[in-house]
Structure 1
Amino acid sequence: MQLTQQTDYAFKTLIYAAVHSERLVNISEISHYYNISRSHLTKVIAKLTKYQYLISIRGNQGGLKLGTDPFKINLGQLIRDFEQFSIIECHSENNQCNISEQCRINHIMADALKSFLQVLDGYYLSDVITNPNLISMIKG
């Protein structure tokens, strides 16, 4: 299973905001730190604020901060919010497969996806940011 770049950027943005929870962060510094295109990151941040993972504060002293406690940001839910899971054609809305009625691969892939998400449902952003080495590396 491969997650999209958008989901990867969402993880990185939330990690950065969580590590810098004592202050507001901005798109430019996150983009610079991870060497991510600002325009790509802007789209990800718009989605993160839509789902209330981040709060955007406008104005001269504005910036971004986590919208909720890192202990409440579930990684499985974050992935569900960012990904469209069409692992194989018969999972998609545009299924054109002529054997999908008789084939069991759809059910097998659905079970695999369920297991994948079930594992991630057991983890939170707080589990990611507890490593002191990671914190010191991001804080510089």
Structure 2
Amino acid sequence: MRLTLHTDYALRTLIYLGIRTDRLVSIREIAQAYGISENHLVKIIHRLGLGGFISTQRGRNGGLRLARPAAEIRIGDVVRYTEEDMGLVACMQSDQPGGQDCILARACRLRGVLGEALGSFMGVLDRYTLADMIGDNERSGLGELRNFD
């Protein structure tokens, strides 16, 4: 299983905002801290806003912040929201309902095993919140990377 860059950047953005709770943060600041394209990050920010993970404030003194406390944001929820398709193989993907294109669909056990594996993967992610991802190392690491304070 590999998460998309969209999800990776979404998680990084949320971690950054979870560290910087004392002020609004700009898209440019996050993009520079992680070496991410601002244009790509704008799309991710928009989606996270629609999902209720972040709130945005427009204008000259605008910026971003978490929409709710980091302890209330489950990593599994973010991954489910940002990943367009969690199908591990073609017959599990959303554009292949019921695995109709697979000649083994009726007798296939692999699909069930992979579904169980995906369930376990998501179960682990559901046990953790954004707050669990933010420790002293993350706080000091971002401070060393770019000091925007």
Overall identity of the aligned pairs, in %: 37
For 1:113, the equivalent position in structure 2 comes to 118
The Cα of 1:28 is off from its aligned counterpart by: 0.6
- The residue type paired with residue 104 of structure 2 is I
Aligned residue pairs: how many? 139
5+ residue gaps, structure 2:
none
Matching residue of 1:15? 15
Normalising by the residue count of structure 2, what TM-score does the alignment of the two structures yield?
Answer: 0.90
1:137 matched to 2:141? The reply is yes
The SS at the match of 2:64 is strand
Letter in 2 for 1:34: Y
Return structure 1 stretches of 4+ with deviation > 2 angstroms. none
Q: Which residue of 1 aligns with 2:63?
A: 63
Where does 1:74-93 land on structure 2 (aligned, <5 Å)?
74-83=74-83, 84-92=85-93, 93=95
Shift of 1:58: 0.6
Distance 1:38 1:71 in 2: 27
Deviations 1:73-124 (Å, cap 9, x if unpaired)? Answer: 0001111101111110110232421111111111111100000000111000
Q: Distance in 2 between matches of 1:73 and 1:61?
A: 26
Find 1:122's aligned residue among 127, 131, 136: 127
Give SS of 1:55's match.
strand
* 1:93-108 alignment, distance < 5 Å: 93-94=95-96, 95=99, 96-108=101-113
Give me the CA root mean square deviation: 1.0
Offset of 1:133 from its aligned partner? 2.2
TM-score by length of 1: 0.95
Gap runs ≥5 in structure 1: none
Tell me the distance in 1 between the aligned counterparts of 2:121 and 2:137.
27
